Amino acid sequence: MKRILVLEDERLIALDIAATLEEAGYDVIGPHGSVEGALTALEDVPPDFALLDVNLGRHGTSLPVAEELARRSLPFMFLTGYTTLSESFPETFGDYRRVQKPFVSNELITALEEELPSE
């Protein structure tokens, strides 16, 4: 089972994502609501993939985690409420996929599967 790390500060949304992933047969790490939690989790069990909410509200953004993941060459994608117009997204992560909130469950899974490296 693939381990998917989820970073989402809105707990309700996080629970929804976790439920969607588990229904699709993935093992969910978290969901974590803060950068610190996510980084600690990364140390414990390296995930196969990660889903990162960009704006973590009062916890800032998920970019530190994204950087760490990129450093470890782990695949991930972003969840975001912003459109490209209204957000200044860092160039570094311009190549990573972004999934718009609110998402439809099977769309999220389809995107995930496309991004997951085949074995």
Site of interaction with another protein (CB under 8 A): 9-16, 19, 33-34, 55, 57-58, 80-83, 86-87, 100-103, 105
Amino acid at 96: Y
Rank residues 67 and 87 by Cβ distance to another protein and give the closer one. Answer: 87
Q: Give min distance, CB of 15 to another protein, in A.
A: 7
Q: What is the DSSP letter of 24?
A: T
Rank residues 33 and 47 by Cβ distance to another protein and give the closer one. Answer: 33
Rank residues 16 and 68 by Cβ distance to another protein and give the closer one. Answer: 16
Q: Give min distance, CB of 71 to another protein, in A.
A: 27
Rank residues 46 and 87 by Cβ distance to another protein and give the closer one. Answer: 87
Encode burial over 16-35: b for 16+ CB neighbours within 10 A, e otherwise.
bbbebbeebebebbbbbbbb
Q: Give min distance, CB of 68 to another protein, in A.
A: 22
Which of 60, 71, 12 has the alpha carbon at shortest distance from 37?
60
Q: Give min distance, CB of 74 to another protein, in A.
A: 24
Amino acid at 61: T
Sequence-separated (6 or more) residues with CB below 8 Å from residue 96: 66, 76, 77, 78
